[in-house]
Amino acid sequence: MKWTNVDLQKYDQAKEYIDTVIVPLAPFQIGALEASAKNADQYDVLTLFARELEKELMGRVMLTPIYTYITTADKAEEAARINKWTSHFKEQPFKQVLYISFDPTWRKMANDLEGEFIWLPSISLKDADPAAVKGMIRDQTMQTAELVKSFW
């Protein structure tokens, strides 16, 4: 399920079956061109990837809007805010809260997060042909879906 009107109606009917929230985490900035452009690229890939993952596991997961933060932000502060999201979800009740991100800096903070952090090796959309990108995203989706299943 996604955070859309249609899916929320479905969620309301089937709350007992949907016990997992997936929160994508993405850094952003508008500054130095190369770094900013890279963040923007990763944001796109994460959006695409999160949607594919949701499609695969639709009946048991709720995909939230992307949690964005300034690239240089203090991670401890962000972690506290993410935990607020998490406790909000757990009120529903959702049993599992999973964060997915290409940003490896969360790795160090993973212990401070109340949900499970899944780091994904990033894929670059640049100079790859669309078919190859599709294949890579498909591969990574299937592998991540397996990982998500291991939490169930």
Partner 1 sequence: MSDEKRDISRRQFLNYTLTGVGGFMAAGMLISPVRMAIDPVLKSNEGGDFANVGLEVSEITSEPQRVDWSIDQVDGWYESEVNRSAWVYRNENDEIVAFSPVCKHLGCVVSWEGNDDYPEEYFCPCHDGRYYKNGVNVPGTPPLQPLDVYEQEERDGMLFLGNIKPHEEA
Q: Is 136 in the site for partner 1 (CB under 8 A)?
A: no
Alpha-carbon distance 59 to 17, whole Å? 7
Applying CB under 8 A, which of residues 8, 14, 35, 147 lies at the interface with partner 1? 14
Residue among 28, 151, 16 nearest 101 (CA) = 28
Angle ∠(23,33,50) on CA atoms, nearest 5? 20
What residues contact residue 137 under an 8 Å CB cut-off, 6+ apart?
Answer: 45, 48, 49, 52, 123
In terms of CB distance, is 34 or 130 closer to partner 1? 130
15 sits near partner 1 (criterion: CB under 8 A): no
Helix (H) or strand (E) holding 22: strand 20-28
Binding test (CB under 8 A) with partner 1, winner from 40, 79, 110, 145? 145
User: What x-and-dash track marks residues 17-36 binding partner 1 by CB under 8 A?
Assistant: xx------------------
Comparison of 37 and 152: residue with beta carbon closer to partner 1: 152
| Shortest spacing between CB 55 and partner 1, in angstroms | 7
When the beta carbons of 25 and 137 are compared against partner 1, the nearer one is 137
Residue closest to 123 by CA, chosen among 135, 107, 109:
135
Please list the alpha-helical segments (H only) found in 16-126.
Answer: 33-56, 75-90, 106-109
Does the footprint of partner 1 cover residue 95 (CB under 8 A)?
Answer: no
Q: What is the largest CA-CA distance in the chain?
A: 47
Question: Which range of residues in 27-35, 50-58, 77-85, 88-96 is near partner 1 by CB under 8 A?
Answer: 50-58
Q: Return residues touching partner 1 (CB under 8 A).
A: 10, 14, 17-18, 52, 55-60, 134, 138, 145, 149, 152
